[in-house]
Chains A and B, each alone.
Chain A
Amino acid sequence: MFGYLRIDKDELKVKDYRFYKSVYCGLCRSMGKNYGTAARLMLSYDCTVLAVLLMSVTSEKCAVVRKRCPVNPLKKCEFCDCMSDAIKFAGAVSVILGYNRLQDTIIDSKMLKKIPPMILKILLKRNYRKAAAAYPEIAHMTEQLIKMQTEAESKKAGIDASAEPTAKFMSKLCSMFCPQNYNSHAAETFGYYIGRWIYLIDAADDLEEDIKKGTFNPFKEKYNGDTAETMKYCNEVLNMTAAHITMSYDLLDTGLYKSILDNIVYDGIAKQQQYCLFDKYNEKNKKIRSR
């Protein structure tokens, strides 16, 4: 999970934004409390969305308290109750995924740059074990995810096959929490396409860098030297995935926090695509021109 799943702040009601933020802060607090200060660095927007989704699905109401922010003690923030099941779950997922991602970062970076992730990894090791012991299923799923991902990349898999491990992981994650008699088929499908979308937008976002470094990227084959053209193609792929996200999302009974999830699914996804595929390059060009 890489922080691509976000709200579109401009379109969100203030009360929804406040709640979303309190979940973000609550998640950070919960991770700090359960897995130590270093774990807070693993906080991501994706896991905040996961927490909101889980709360919505299980219709778990969450108390909000006002406390000082430990990261910035001058600021008083609203925190969602960090003992909530959804938040604990999302926190564990963040720690487990984050820890495993560190290994990737160590392999990918060169020489001295290896040191910070290595230190972080050592700091996190004990708490990773704690999270993995509390949620063994997720630890197992993550192992599978990494194994399948490495395999797909070494085979130089196509777009569908390389997105599949993340998609399947998210699919399981979304259906795990569903209460009985919930529409689990739609939830699984929703998770699948969310995972696929996250993987593919990350790939599209990293395309230029991967070409420079010579690392694997599923969109490389389509790249013909013209970034703008390739991004148009990536946009088509992502649009189709997003169409399937909304199709399955519309069949979910989202209940309590519908307005926040609607915002993420209908507006946030489109906005991220627009930013990562087009606006980012326009900004770059502007900077070059102004120099």
Chain B
Amino acid sequence: MNDPYRILNISKNADVEEIKKAYRILVKKYHPDRYQNSSLAKEATEKMKEINQAYDMVMREKQGQGSDASYDNGAYDKHEGSAPRDTYNKTEPSVYVNVRQDIKNQNFDKAESVLNKIPPTERSGEWYYLMSIISYNKGQLEESNNYIETAHSIDPSNTEYYQMYRSIKEQRTGTSYHSGGATGCGGKIFRNICDCFY
């Protein structure tokens, strides 16, 4: 395994507080919510695992040295990469179940062609939601944005659509833009790019 200190981006003699802080920054960076619906989710989960292992290792080392670290007392819970949610409606037509499976297997072209066969009059909120995910992964971000807007307006109470809708809107205002960044609000530079910055 690689050097855990390098993975956490800390020096060998960092104290417990520094380790926790570095860990928290990384958790935010690779959080499954940030990569939700993205084909990069798998890579992000791997990275998260690596970070968790490194964190455990470093903390164990610190405890072995007799420091007062008590990191596993529940004060700070570790983040595991959560499995993709499979919370779709059981009564939905089976075609969407198959499309979801294709999306999960990253068969975006196939999923898209199946969806395109559905006539415009029969297109539900879910159709637009799934189309949004497909465009999102093919890099067609404007189309993805249009689709999710339609899905959300058809069924505003659907939490699944809303989550995607909100995450796209955050990306567009620039609030999620810097989530991996090292520096905070750049003052003048960001004046117009974001309305609020944490």
Residues of A at the B interface (CB closer than 8 Å) are 8, 11, 158-161, 164, 167, 183, 185-186, 189, 192-193, 196, 235-237, 239-244, 246-251, 262, 266-267, 270-271, 273-274, 277-278
Contacts and interface: CB of A to CB of B under 8 A. Distances in A.
A63 B147 CA distance: 50
Interface of B: 29-30, 34-35, 38-40, 43-44, 47, 135, 139-143, 145, 168, 171-174, 176-183, 186, 189-193
A243 B193 contact: no
Contacts of B38: 247
B130 to A, nearest CB: 17
Contacts of B30: 250
B3 to A, nearest CB: 13
A274 B140 CA distance: 23
> Which secondary structure dominates chain A's binding surface?
helix
Contacts of B189: 8, 267, 270-271, 274
The interface residues of chain B, by DSSP majority, are classed as loop
B164 to A, nearest CB: 13
B193 A246 contact: no
B141 A160 contact: yes
Contacts of B35: 247
B179 A246 contact: yes
A-B residue pairs, 8 tightest by C-beta: A243-B171, A160-B140, A266-B181, A236-B172, A239-B174, A250-B180, A240-B171, A159-B142
8 contacts: A158-B142, A164-B139, A189-B39, A189-B40, A236-B173, A243-B176, A247-B38, A274-B192
B29 A270 contact: no
A175 to B, nearest CB: 14
A185 B42 CA distance: 11
Contacts of B43: 183, 185-186, 251
Given A270-B186, A274-B191, A185 B47 contact: no
Contact of A240 (B145, B179, B181, B186): B145
Given A189-B40, A248-B40, A266 B192 contact: no
